[in-house]
Amino acid sequence: MTFAYPLLFWLLPIVPIVWWAMYRRSRGEVVTMRFSDLGMLRGVKPSWRIRMRPLLISLRAAALGLLVVVLSRPQYAQSSERVVREGIDIQLALDISLSMKAGDFDPKDRITVAKEVIAEFIKGRKDDRIGLVVFSGNAFTQVPLTLDYDFLQNLLGQVQTVRRPDGTAIGTALAHSVNGLRNSTTKSKVVILLTDGSSNRGDIEPAQAAEIARALDVRVYTILVGKPGGGEYPVHDAWRDETYLIPAPTAEDEVALRDIAEQTGGIFFRAGDEQGLRDVYDTIDKMERSQVASEKLVRYTEAWQPWAAGALLLLMIEILLRNTILRSIG
């Protein structure tokens, strides 16, 4: 138990003084009668009512002491700890050009593995707003920043490679992703850009997009997927109703991706197989965690009521006794 105003306990030493003052006063209020000779009263002992008179004073003094406790506001303190999380805003930029259908992540292709790994990454996040930008020769927002992870996972599952416009517009994709973070008020803003090739389309160069990201304090992690030398991906010819295997482009601009990461405070990764890609996202997941702070909350429950009830009870007993069996004349 704690007290809101413990200094009021300095009033308690006054209670005995008050008791003594009331006792002396009561002694002076004894009714006297004049007799010519008091010899006949020498053997008379005070009655039990007279001996119980100090009890009234004690009851009143005890009630006064309890009222001092009431004024000090006794309380029960219940402490608890509240965890406060400050989430991160993350834009996932995913390459959906035709080369992402390359099957060098045997038995799966690049896009399938990328979607599975990204889905696991999303599942492990809490309190972070996550958006999804897809790109090939152009870029568009598939899902704006959201906390609705189920909705995000659903639309991620529907992502497919596109045939037109083909190509890889890394600069445009990065600029588009950064633009989605422009109004973010979080302390940490992140873009995770995954691609399998070099930038060969778009109106914005990767270096220009990196400058924009750095100006807006956005950290960019770049991931280059695919085995060196590339693989083959299927292309369906609707006119002939035939499917061809075409070698995936081997042009890879690792230097540009590395420069983007370094310029924005991020890291460049290379993933040549499924486990390698999982390791990349696990690493990013550990590095980019929500900021957690704890606040100690103390809730106080007022506990003066029993003390006030006790004081009231003592006063009622004192009044009852004073006006009944301990009643005095005069």
Residue-wise pLDDT for 2-17, tens only, equals: 888 788 878 888 888 8
Per mean pLDDT, which of 48-52, 125-129, 170-174 is the most reliable? 170-174
% of the chain residues with pLDDT over 90? 38
- HEC sequence for the chain: CEECCHHHHHHCCHHHHHHHHHHHHHHHCCCCCCCCCCHHHCCCCCCHHHHCHHHHHHHHHHHHHHHHHHHCCEEEEEEEEEEEEECCEEEEEEECCHHHHCCCECCECHHHHHHHHHHHHHHCCCCCEEEEEEECCCEEEEEEEECCHHHHHHHHHCCCCCCCCCCCCHHHHHHHHHHHCCCCCCCCEEEEEEECCCCCCCCCCHHHHHHHHHHCCEEEEEEEECCCCCCEEEEEECCCCEEEEEECCCCCCHHHHHHHHHHHCCCEEEECCHHHHHHHHHHHHHHCCCEEEEEEEEEEEECCHHHHHHHHHHHHHHHHHHCCCCCCCC
Statement: residue 29 has pLDDT above 70: no
pLDDT of residue 2: 82
pLDDT of residue 201: 86
% of the chain residues with pLDDT over 70? 78
To the nearest whole number, what is the mean pLDDT of the chain?
82
- pLDDT tens for residues 189-210? 999 999 987 888 888 999 999 9
- pLDDT tens for residues 117-170? 999 999 999 889 999 999 999 999 999 999 999 999 999 999 999 877 778 899
